[in-house]
Amino acid sequence: MSSHPIGLRRRQLLNLCAGLPLAGAPLIASRTVFAQPSAVSDAEALHLLNRLSWGPAPGDVMRMQQMGPDAWVDEQLHPQRLPLPEGLTRALDALPFTHLSQRDAVSQYRRAAQQARRDPEAGKEARQEMLKQLSLEAGEARLLRAVGSPHQLQEVMVEFWFNHFNVFAGKGLDRVLVENYEQEAIRPHVLGRFRDLLGATAHHPAMLFYLDNWQSVAPGFQPRHAGAKNAPTGLNENYARELMELHTLGVDGGYSQSDVTELARMLTGWTFDLRAHGSSLFMFDPQRHDMGSKNWLGQTVAARGQAEGEWALDQLARHPSTARHISDKLAQYFVADEPPAALVDKLSRRFTTTDGDIRAVLQTLFASPEFRDPARYGAKFKTPYRYVVSALRASAIPVSNVRPLLGALRQQGMPLYGCPTPDGYKNTEQAWLNPEAITRRVGFANALASGRLSVDRPTESLPPMANRGNDAAPNSPPSPQPQPVDLNSLLATLGSGISGKTRAALQTEPKALQAALVLGSPDFMRH
């Protein structure tokens, strides 16, 4: 079978998958509460690994059974207790672009732009190469952590909150700021207080640029340099609108268009200075600020400069509508596409009583009967990102090049940092389950299972993932051999997550197709 053309293999896989249901009853019937450590079932362990991590890697189920589910959850909620593997730390340290400050990232971008103006042909090529390198390193850093970090819940929450506070890497300055945005505005706060996370995103130039607040000014503002390119011309409501509709209160959060306008006025002057000497580019420009009084959410707001915006963030973070909106999104992400109303109510109360303590809200969520209900096992459909990362973790193949993985995410409709709309990527079955998506996932499953992704080499200068931190010369890495997925290890890792029907179908197929069938099966596409 290994000599068959790739197209034929893919057709066979699609035919096999077509005979398996994409949705249905839970894979394993079990209790409604987690068992004691000595008796935790394979299905219970997989449920936790599928929701609180990017899926099981070899040995994960056994480790949880030895620890017990409650201890494992508590460990994930406190990632500082788990040191990062030395190899992962070395690999991350070897990505220079990901360690740039806001100022340094923008400075390199501006120098490349100036060079492009002086020498259009060579400068444009250098600028494109810099942007490509930065994009590759940002993608590699994210994927390295997602696949190899023991802080799995933290990595899951990075993806959740980045989508919630989405910025688009394809828009101008954000092409060089998006990695810093994830590292400084998102990552440090994913299990902390919501107000801190909200403030970090509000002050970051990536958000201010993406939603145009950097150009929002009071009526009558006169730029220092008349006729300057991109000079602000008036009030811009984009950020104020999304701050209430998406980031905090929700679309039905009880505000009006007038409230959007008044909040935009309160946030005038929140901008950034590309000439700043510190690492952060954020600045408040009082010359741009609307010093008139405002009436926002039924309250009169006196002129106080930047303090008006800070006070507004305080109010939004503590608003009951915010508690419900965030709770509903967390319940949808971790429990069900249509989350139970009783669970959302419970999480909202926890959010309010803990002043937006994200870790505390997640503790309540993971202990809830709604989350633990066996009917939830395998009930959600994986996004492309979760599908690709979970396949890498389950198969345990060393991947030497990040490019095919980033390409697979683009082909499946979820390019990393590539959602152009401020609402971010959806995580529901309706958003991702369609025939074309299944076809592309099967193609990826076949490439990964056959070992082709483990030998693809980068053609530019970025060192491959598998060789980060070793002593090999960067221009002469050892030539790897294809490493097909080990079927027995894959099945042992996924356990009862692969149904009897799928396992029976494997027995009638050529050996070379079996691992691909597992990774391309409807069972594996759910979590």
User: What are 327-363's pLDDT values in tens digits?
Assistant: 999 999 999 999 999 999 999 999 999 999 999 999 9
What average pLDDT does range 371-380 have in this prediction?
97
Indicate whether 516 pLDDT > 60.
yes
pLDDT of residue 23: 38
Task: Report the predicted TM-score, pTM, of the whole model to 2 decimal places.
Answer: 0.89
The structure tokens listed for 126 are: 């250098």
Secondary structure of 51-90 in HEC code, one letter for each residue: HHCCCCCCCHHHHHHHHCHHHHHHHHHCHHHCCCCHHHHH
What average pLDDT does range 114-130 have in this prediction?
80
The band of 8, judged by pLDDT with boundaries at 50, 70 and 90, is: very low
CB 55 within 8 A of CB 393: yes
Indicate whether 71 pLDDT > 60.
yes
What average pLDDT does range 392-397 have in this prediction?
94
C-alpha–C-alpha distance, residues 133 and 20, integer Å: 41
C-alpha–C-alpha distance, residues 56 and 63, integer Å: 11
**Where do the domains of the chain lie?**
86-149+151-215+233-248+250-317
Indicate whether 21 pLDDT > 50.
no
The band of 163, judged by pLDDT with boundaries at 50, 70 and 90, is: very high
Percentage of residues in the chain having pLDDT higher than 90 = 76
pLDDT of residue 109: 84
Indicate whether 216 pLDDT > 70.
yes
Q: Which residue has the higher pLDDT, 472 or 291?
A: 291
CB 9 within 8 A of CB 449: no
The band of 226, judged by pLDDT with boundaries at 50, 70 and 90, is: low
Indicate whether 34 pLDDT > 80.
no
The band of 479, judged by pLDDT with boundaries at 50, 70 and 90, is: low
C-alpha–C-alpha distance, residues 381 and 64, integer Å: 24
- The DSSP letter of residue 381 is B
Contacts of residue 318, defined as CB under 8 A and 6 or more positions apart, other chains included, come to 195, 352, 355, 356
Helix axis angle for 120-148 and 102-118, nearest 10°, is 150
Indicate whether 473 pLDDT > 50.
no
What average pLDDT does range 292-320 have in this prediction?
97
Give the range among 193-207, 211-225, 403-417 with minimum mean pLDDT: 211-225
Indicate whether 123 pLDDT > 50.
yes
For residue range 357-373, list pLDDT tens digits in order: 999 999 999 999 999 99
The band of 220, judged by pLDDT with boundaries at 50, 70 and 90, is: confident
Per mean pLDDT, which of 268-282, 325-339, 466-480 is the most reliable? 325-339
C-alpha–C-alpha distance, residues 112 and 507, integer Å: 57
pLDDT of residue 465: 42
For residue range 166-194, list pLDDT tens digits in order: 999 999 999 999 999 999 999 999 999 99
pLDDT of residue 130: 87
Indicate whether 515 pLDDT > 50.
yes
Indicate whether 7 pLDDT > 50.
no
Tell me the pLDDT of the chain averaged across its residues: 88
Quick one: CA dihedral 49, 50, 53, 56, positive or negative?
positive
Q: How deeply is 315 buried, as exposed, middle or buried, from its count of CB atoms within 10 A (0-12, 13-18, 19+)?
A: middle
Q: How deeply is 26 buried, as exposed, middle or buried, from its count of CB atoms within 10 A (0-12, 13-18, 19+)?
A: middle
Q: Rounded to the nearest 5 degrees, what angle is found at the Cα of 379, between the Cα atoms of 396 and 66?
A: 50
What are 234's strand-pairing partners? 216
Indicate whether 33 pLDDT > 50.
no
